[in-house]
Amino acid sequence: KLGMAYKKDDNFGEWYSEVVVNSEMIEYYDISGCYILRPWAMEIWELLKEFFDAEIKKLKLKPYYFPLFVTENVLQKEKDHIEGFAPEVAWVTKSGKSELEAPIAIRPTSETVMYPYFSKWIRSHRDLPLRCNQWCNVVRWEFSNPTPFIRSREFLWQEGHTAFATKEEADEEVLQILELYRRIYEEFLAVPVSKGRKSEMEKFAGGLYTTSVEAFIPNTGRGIQGATSHCLGQNFAKMFDITFENEKGVREMVWQNSWAYTTRSIGVMVMTHGDDKGLVLPPKVAPIQVIVIAVPYKDADTTAIKGACESTVYTLNESGIRADQDTRENYSPGWKYSHWEMKGVPLRIEIGPKDLANKQVRIVRRDNGAKVDIPVTNLVEEVKVLLDEIQKNLFKTAQEKRDACVQVIKTWDEFTTALNNKRLILAPWCDEEEVEKDVKARTKGELGAAKTLCTPFEQPELPEGTLCFASGKQAKKWSFWGRSY
């Protein structure tokens, strides 16, 4: 399929669906909210996993795999932990024709699957810290509008679950993991995010506090949670009796964390960088960073051109660059240019008779369309420089766009105006949950209510006497507000 029917700035929703399909990342499936992840998506997921897995191994995380299924009574161990989530739990009730004695839930997250065994495995302080990570799928049978990568009924993630003897150790790890999530978004996906703390209302109800990295989609003016790192305190230790005998022989409850990022991260990258020609991939996560395309000319030496393409691909791969060539005879060079632009490949190399004669190649950038002729002798160095430039340019452009959407406000009127202008709002807040609830109630509508996205760790100066935009009480902090996914 060539060319896009929808424009990003005119029909964002349709544009997005078209990009993920035309770039061969996604195939729609005949169950609503479920999608097929094709190699162009899975290879990106695997590149992110390669980085994250290596980093958490440095933090001594151990790989586990727990069952997909959890019994009803274990899942419902603690009412307030899953209250509100019950409608999205998927249940197995039959095998073949016969009913199961008791329905079995498919994991929506694995606290209740894991923690009875944490209780069994942790006896002494010598068993701590316990550091468990699993890469798996989870199922949440949500009913709000499904969107590939962004909101699906089954998705892939990693979930880390750790237990420590002290709160200090837990607090430290929460931030170490959050920094890894920032790196995934900013250094690999070239997506700017804000690190911050969730409000009491938005945090994970079963935990002590929640931190997150928050992204923003300018086209829809909506914030989106990129990843989350919770300190659970001793809440689950109490619930599941996870205790240890400390050095003095005194029995204590452990301090726990849990943290995750998901395939949603790929969707955020698509939304951030895509354009009206299709996907635009940051080189760090591009399954193919350079695509080589022969430009045969009627009576030119096609064998020599093919040979030049082969050796170009070989030389680039030898230097660690992910290069490939499109040798399909049944497509024209022009068709191939559009095809690989649709797939978002960062660099295209064209080799025709003129290039051959001049011992050069023509390189075309996907991000800004710039064309440059490079002597074959400088090929690897120039390609590396260009890929690095593209990575930096994509991040810088996205950061400037996101920053341009940020609106600092002081009053309710300014807040509602900014909300209607699809802004990412930074407002002084009294940090009272009642006020947060009130803002939600006052901004309800078909576009969804405004909510707090996070209280950024980087706090601007809050002058004495600054009042909360919503309640008029003394403001305690600056928080990001907006509509969200």
- Write out the binding residues for ligand 86X, residues 91-120 only, by CB under 6 A: 108-109, 111
- Tell me if 481 contacts ligand 86X by CB under 6 A: no
Nearest-angstrom CA–CA distance, 85 and 77: 13
Considering only 258, 443, 455, 484, the residue that binds ligand 86X (CB under 6 A) is 258
Q: C-beta of 109: minimal distance to ligand 86X in Å?
A: 4
Q: Which residues contact 372 (CB under 8 A, 6 or more apart)?
A: 362, 363, 382, 386
- Residue that is written with structure tokens 């660059």 in the block: 321
Q: Count of residues binding ligand 86X (CB under 6 A)?
A: 16
Q: C-beta of 204: minimal distance to ligand 86X in Å?
A: 5
Q: C-beta of 111: minimal distance to ligand 86X in Å?
A: 6
Nearer to ligand 86X, 260 or 342 (CB): 260
- Tell me if 259 contacts ligand 86X by CB under 6 A: yes
Nearer to ligand 86X, 206 or 274 (CB): 206
Q: Are 448 and 430 in contact (CB under 8 A)?
A: no
Three-state DSSP at 481 gives strand
Nearer to ligand 86X, 204 or 337 (CB): 204
Considering only 37, 89, 184, 266, the residue that binds ligand 86X (CB under 6 A) is 89
108: its two tokens: 């929506």
Taken in order 389, 394, 399, 400, is the CA torsion positive or negative?
positive
Q: What is the dihedral of CA 161, 166, 168, 172, to 10 degrees?
A: -20
Q: C-beta of 196: minimal distance to ligand 86X in Å?
A: 15
Task: With contacts defined by CB under 6 A, name the span among 3-11, 125-133, 258-266, 348-356 that binds ligand 86X.
Answer: 258-266
DSSP 153-194: SEEEEEEEEEEESSHHHHHHHHHHHHHHHHHIIIIIS----E
Nearest-angstrom CA–CA distance, 233 and 257: 7
350: its two tokens: 């064209």
- Write out the binding residues for ligand 86X, residues 173-212 only, by CB under 6 A: 204
- Tell me if 155 contacts ligand 86X by CB under 6 A: no
Q: Are 343 and 289 in contact (CB under 8 A)?
A: no
Nearer to ligand 86X, 155 or 204 (CB): 204
Alpha helices, DSSP H, located in 4-71: 12-22, 39-58
Q: C-beta of 72: minimal distance to ligand 86X in Å?
A: 11
* DSSP category for residue 126: G
Q: C-beta of 142: minimal distance to ligand 86X in Å?
A: 9
- Tell me if 169 contacts ligand 86X by CB under 6 A: no
Q: C-beta of 110: minimal distance to ligand 86X in Å?
A: 7
* DSSP category for residue 378: G
197: its two tokens: 């703390």
State which H helix or E strand residue 231 sits in. strand 222-233
- Tell me if 228 contacts ligand 86X by CB under 6 A: yes
Chain residues that interact with ligand 86X, rule: CB under 6 A = 75, 82, 85, 88-89, 108-109, 111, 140, 159, 204, 228, 230, 258-260
